[in-house]
Amino acid sequence: MHDARTAIVTGAGSGIGYATAVALAAEGYRIVAVDIAADGTERAADAVAAAGSEALPVALDVRDADAFEAAVDRAEQHFGGAPELLANIAGIGVAATLTETSREDWDAVLGVNLTALFETCRIVLPRMVAAGGGCIVNVSSVAGVVGVRNRAAYCASKAGVIGLTRSIAVDYADRGIRANAICPGTVASEWIGKILADAPDPGAAREAMEKRQLDGRMGTPEEVAEGIVFLAGARFANGSAFVMDGGMTAI
């Protein structure tokens, strides 16, 4: 067990965020579990406690920068000091080509996946710098590296995550900050479950998703969480876009 450190995890109520909160807790991190669903934050806090650490559950919409800043203030008072790690995992998607994407959906996807991430980093970075350094891991996607059908807004947002992450690494490396993006392939999360449930043929949709990976299966949230934990501790990794997709982009 490492000395106590604090990690802010957005999207901690389910999927990759939940798995990451638990995995980081096992590494000795105290967790600020942020999610839009209050029951999800409580569930994550219980799991963190079961892993032997402590969590502060915070229910908020990551698009609300004022609420997020207040939560960081609260976390600093609760745990004492700035967070050592910010893991931006909250995200949404819309199944649509560019011409099928409404402006409302575009704004929602970019708002959660990119603008909110800009705000969380903008709020946390000065605190990390003042404390002597820190680490940011932003969840992008293979959809930020290659084109994925019927995901125009999602692809744009996740490509933006990579660009923003690299700019943070370049601008703040000399102030003790590391920033990396992780780019998962298709992961068997609650969000994917909803997409499959809404598909005309859920079985065929699942099979198509599984076939995109070289080993014929979707990844698990726990596997991606392992990658996030790795990047949190990999001191020579900075400004990278770490693809973790079961070989989806190798073809």
* The total number of structural domains that make up the chain: 2
Same domain, 54 and 172: yes
250 located within any domain: no
d(CA 124, CA 11): 16
Residue of 18, 29, 154, 172 with catalytic role = 154
Same domain, 179 and 194: no
Q: What is the pLDDT of residues 25-46, one digit of tens each?
A: 999 999 999 999 999 999 999 9
pLDDT score of 216: 84
Nearest CA to 93 out of 202, 15, 204 is that of 15
Q: What is the pLDDT of residues 93-125, one digit of tens each?
A: 998 999 999 999 999 999 999 999 999 999 999
58 located within any domain: yes
Same domain, 65 and 148: yes
Q: What is the pLDDT of residues 174-190, one digit of tens each?
A: 999 999 999 999 888 77
Same domain, 16 and 87: yes
Alpha helices (H) along the chain: 15-26, 38-50, 65-79, 103-110, 116-131, 152-172, 190-198, 202-211, 221-233
Question: Given pLDDT bands bounded at 50, 70 and 90, which one contains residue 1?
Answer: very low
112 located within any domain: yes
Same domain, 46 and 18: yes
Single pTM value for the model? 0.93
> Any idea what the CATH number is for the domain that residue 168 is in?
3.40.50.720
153 located within any domain: yes
Q: Please give the C-alpha separations between residue 81 and each of 118, 128, 141, in angstroms, as whole numbers.
A: 22, 9, 31
pLDDT score of 218: 84
Q: Is the dihedral of CA 11, 89, 97, 194 positive or negative?
A: negative
Domain interval for residue 56: 5-184+222-243
Instruction: Report residue 77 as tokens.
Output: 């008072």
Same domain, 74 and 162: yes
249 located within any domain: no
Instruction: Report residue 30 as tokens.
Output: 């105290």
14 located within any domain: yes
51 located within any domain: yes
pLDDT score of 171: 98
Same domain, 136 and 202: no
Q: Are 186 and 218 in contact (CB under 8 A)?
A: yes
Same domain, 138 and 108: yes
Q: Are 27 and 51 in contact (CB under 8 A)?
A: no
Same domain, 68 and 114: yes
Same domain, 133 and 75: yes
Same domain, 172 and 110: yes
Same domain, 14 and 76: yes
What does the longest C-alpha to C-alpha distance in the chain come to? 52
154 included as an active-site residue: yes
Radius of gyration of the chain (CA): 17
56 located within any domain: yes
